[in-house]
């Protein structure tokens, strides 16, 4: 039976069934005599493979996509390892989990696979009768080819999701995922870009404050977050200062009503641009020394030209820098303005101070005197 199953062979095995550990031969051949099955039948193994493959495909896509985009109104948590807790703490998230659970209970109850353990399930493994688009009834539809595609993609997705777990617990073990998805917080130090990653630093021992607050390299974690503003609320050349995930951001419109988001602090000496900056065309001008920057690219046009003598002198002692630009967009649903920010910016800024300050002023157990 198992030799004829879709996907039993692999491309490099010359069409022969691939089962090096003999899992398909574990079922009890004496079942017809004693009605007792110790090991699962191959029918149960195939049902489990298809189900895990489908879950892995959904899980991998969900873990990757929600890192960069979230559904409006639902909890915003780019770290997939924390998404479950975020949903449990949000009323809408709890409602969504409840709906998914109820749907799963119904499907699992109607299409229970317990008889597959003994090879007597009354349907093909994975066949839940779900075909709302009636694809199977089309004359040109190749069912066996689609079943093979599902199984192969499911196997690949299981490997892919395992790579997410590996990269979380052993940062750098999956180079393409390093810095893009969640990694263990105690192992952020200098992951590098080598093919096999770098060996994780040994666990440090010392004060408890050192364990609670990191001084290691904090990698960026970019995520689209809502500003709470709508495009219709902003007039041309109007500016609104916001703090989003520890980032000081200035959201506004240029004279052509194009939305932009820039750093609120001028790169010269940190003057808040929200305190009187002018928008001329697509140029924003600092209110203190009249440095001007492009709102589209952050390009520097003029560095400290005013007031005469004093402005240029102050500009000489500070390196010329461009203005930091944040990608912005109007949400697909509604008129909300979203910005792409580094949610780890605050941790990265503070990492150089926490350990020394807390160890000097706090108790060894992490509390204050």
Per-residue pLDDT, 302: 93
**Cα–Cα dist 346/246, whole Å:** 5
* H-only helix segments in 141-233: 143-169, 208-212
Task: Determine the pLDDT at residue 9.
Answer: 65
The DSSP output letter for 332 is S
Give the Cα separation of 324 and 344 in Å (integer).
16
Give Cα 71 distance to the centre of its chain. Answer: 13
Q: Number of C-alpha atoms within 13 angstroms, CB side, residue 174?
A: 18
Cα angle value 160/171/347 (rounded, 5°): 120
CA–CA separation, 12 vs 20, rounded Å? 14
CB proximity list for 134: less than 8 A, separation 6 or greater = none
* 222-342: CATH number: 2.102.10.10
* pLDDT lower than 50: segments of the chain: 185-211
Measured distance CA(266)–CA(323) in Å, rounded: 7
Domain boundaries, the chain: 2-152, 222-342
Q: What confidence score (pLDDT) does residue 264 get? A: 92
> Are 255 and 239 contacting, i.e. CB atoms less than 8 angstroms apart?
no
Q: Give the pLDDT of residue 22.
A: 75
- 41: exposed, middle or buried (Cβ count in 10 Å: 0-12, 13-18, 19+): buried
CA distance 8 to 17: 5
Place of tokens 């003057």: 271
* Residues linked to residue 222 through DSSP beta bridges, in sequence order: 342
Q: How far apart are CA 259 and CA 117, in angstroms?
A: 59
3-state secondary structure of 85: helix
**What is the token pair recorded at 294?**
């492009």
Look-up of token digits 């390009």 = 299
Angle between helices 143-169 and 42-68 (to 10 degrees): 60
- Given a contact cutoff of 8 angstroms between Cβ atoms, the answer to whether 343 and 245 are in contact is yes
In angstroms, the CA 369 to CA 363 distance is 6
Write down the pLDDT at residue 205: 45
- Residue pair 344/203 in contact (Cβ under 8 Å)? The answer is no
* Angle (CA) 311 317 321, round 5°: 85
Q: Which helix (H) or strand (E) holds 342?
A: strand 336-342
Q: Compute the distance between CA of residue 150 and CA of residue 135 in angstroms, rounded to an integer.
A: 15
pTM for the structure as a whole:
0.48
DSSP 335: S
**What's the rounded Cα separation, in Å, for the pair 364 and 362?**
7
Reading across the β-sheet that carries 325-326, which strands appear in turn?
239-244, 247-253, 259-263, 325-326
Residue 188 pLDDT: 46
């Amino acid at each position: 039976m198992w030799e004829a199953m879709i996907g039993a062979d692999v491309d490099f095995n010359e069409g022969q069934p691939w089962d090096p550990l003999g899992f398909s031969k574990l079922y009890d051949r004496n079942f017809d005599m004693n009605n007792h099955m110790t090991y699962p039948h191959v029918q149960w193994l195939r049902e489990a493979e298809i189900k895990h493959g489908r879950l892995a495909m959904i899980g991998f896509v969900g873990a990757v996509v929600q890192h960069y985009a979230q559904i409006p109104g639902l909890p915003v948590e780019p770290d997939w390892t924390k998404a479950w807790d975020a949903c449990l703490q949000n009323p809408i998230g709890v409602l969504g989990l409840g709906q998914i659970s109820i749907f799963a209970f119904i499907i699992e109850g109607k299409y229970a696979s317990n008889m597959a353990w003994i090879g007597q399930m009354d349907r093909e493994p994975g066949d839940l009768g779900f075909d709302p688009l009636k694809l199977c009834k089309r004359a040109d539809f190749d069912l066996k080819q689609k079943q093979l595609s599902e199984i192969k993609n499911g196997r690949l997705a299981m490997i892919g999701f395992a790579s997410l777990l590996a990269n979380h617990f052993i940062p750098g073990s999956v180079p393409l995922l390093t810095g893009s998805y969640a990694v263990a917080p105690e192992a952020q130090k200098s992951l590098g870009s080598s093919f096999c990653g770098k060996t994780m630093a040994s666990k440090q021992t010392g004060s408890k404050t050192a364990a609670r607050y990191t001084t290691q390299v904090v990698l960026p974690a970019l995520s689209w977050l809502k500003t709470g503003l709508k495009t219709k609320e902003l007039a041309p050349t109007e500016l609104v200062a916001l703090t989003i995930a520890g980032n000081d951001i200035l959201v506004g419109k240029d004279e052509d009503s194009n939305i932009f988001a820039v750093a609120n602090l001028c790169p010269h000496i940190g003057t808040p641009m929200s305190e009187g900056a002018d928008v001329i065309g697509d140029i924003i001008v600092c209110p203190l020394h009249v440095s001007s920057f492009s709102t589209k690219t952050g390009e520097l046009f003029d560095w400290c030209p005013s007031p005469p003598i004093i402005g240029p002198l102050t500009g000489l002692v500070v390196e010329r820098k461009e203005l930091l630009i944040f990608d912005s967009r109007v949400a697909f649903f509604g008129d909300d303005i979203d910005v792409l920010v580094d949610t780890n910016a605050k941790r990265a800024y503070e990492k150089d101070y926490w350990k020394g300050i807390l160890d000097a002023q706090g108790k060894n157990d992490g509390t204050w005197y």
